[in-house]
């Protein structure tokens, strides 16, 4: 077990925390000066679900360094800046145990699939502490809407009643809105939240590597803010 101190952001405080399998902190951050009322929060945003998609974490890092409660109009926004810290450290899609979190959610269609591949769903639904943390966050602070950041397709995918929110995001970043990713994803986060719980859920697929320019960063920061406000 290693011990890593959580990153501290000027305008945000940790509301809930957990520890990854290898001992790295995972936090739900909330804007300083804003209290979540019992029950729901307005928006949950998360990144680095897949550890080999660091661009997603860079966007939320920039967001957390620049945006304060005042700019959010007192909206109750929860941010999980790095959902899979071991994967981010190891530069792997999966968690340190080789599980794809996006197949590990306790959905009705969860099945043990893909062992030894990058899409391994785990030995049981929500077998991973990283998945358990998100399930816990959703039960304690169920959000009105969710934005989950990935790479590399440069599209906005949505689950549940989120088409209007997807279009709102597209107005700012210009990405195409796609209703369905085109292949089955049992145990996926979008199925758990959007399809089974009716929470509007956006998957923002950012460009990666050289295509992830400063312009892309800025337009996506603006797109996130536009969707919150």
CA distance 156 to 158: 7
**Using an 8 Å Cβ cutoff, are 104 and 122 in contact?**
yes
Write the burial class of residue 128 (CB in 10 Å: 0-12 exposed, 13-18 middle, 19+ buried). Answer: buried
Single residue of 24, 76, 103, 150 touching Zn ion by CB under 5 A:
150
Q: Which is nearer to Zn ion, 24 or 50 (CB)?
A: 50
Write the burial class of residue 107 (CB in 10 Å: 0-12 exposed, 13-18 middle, 19+ buried). Answer: buried
Q: Which is nearer to Zn ion, 20 or 188 (CB)?
A: 188
The order of strands in the sheet holding 12-19 is 12-19, 25-31, 77-80, 41-46, 143-150, 201-205, 155-159, 176-178
Q: If binding is defined by CB under 5 A, does position 103 make contact with Zn ion? A: no
**Using an 8 Å Cβ cutoff, are 78 and 143 in contact?**
yes
Single residue of 24, 50, 76, 103 touching Zn ion by CB under 5 A:
50
Q: Which is nearer to Zn ion, 76 or 103 (CB)?
A: 103
Min dist CB 103 to Zn ion, Å, is 11
Q: Which stretch binds Zn ion (CB under 5 A): 44-52, 103-111, 112-120, 157-165?
A: 44-52
Q: Which is nearer to Zn ion, 42 or 208 (CB)?
A: 208
Give the x/- contact pattern for Zn ion in 11-40, rule: CB under 5 A. ------------------------------
- Coil, strand or helix: which one is 12? strand
Q: Which stretch binds Zn ion (CB under 5 A): 29-37, 52-60, 121-129, 207-215?
A: 52-60
Return residues touching Zn ion (CB under 5 A): 50, 53, 150
């Amino acid at each position: 077990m290693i011990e890593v101190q959580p990153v501290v952001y000027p305008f945000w405080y940790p509301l809930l925390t957990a520890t990854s399998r290898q001992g790295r902190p995972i936090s739900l951050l909330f804007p300083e000066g804003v209290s979540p009322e019992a029950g729901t929060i307005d928006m949950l945003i998360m990144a680095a679900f897949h550890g080999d998609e660091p661009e997603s974490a860079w966007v939320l890092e920039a967001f957390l360094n620049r945006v304060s409660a005042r700019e959010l109009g007192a909206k109750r926004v929860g941010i999980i800046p790095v959902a899979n810290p071991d994967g981010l450290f190891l530069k792997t899609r999966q968690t340190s145990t080789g599980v794809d979190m996006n197949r590990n959610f306790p959905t009705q269609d969860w099945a043990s699939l893909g062992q030894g591949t990058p899409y391994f769903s785990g030995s049981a639904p929500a077998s991973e502490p990283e998945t358990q943390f998100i399930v816990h966050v959703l039960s304690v602070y169920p959000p009105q809407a969710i934005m989950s950041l990935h790479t590399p397709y440069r599209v906005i995918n949505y689950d549940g009643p989120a088409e209007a929110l997807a279009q709102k995001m597209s107005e700012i970043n210009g990405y195409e809105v796609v209703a369905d990713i085109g292949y089955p994803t049992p145990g996926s986060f979008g199925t758990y939240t959007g399809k089974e719980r009716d929470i509007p859920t956006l998957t923002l697929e950012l460009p990666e590597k050289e295509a992830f320019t400063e312009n892309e960063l800025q337009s996506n920061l603006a797109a996130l803010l536009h969707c919150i406000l």
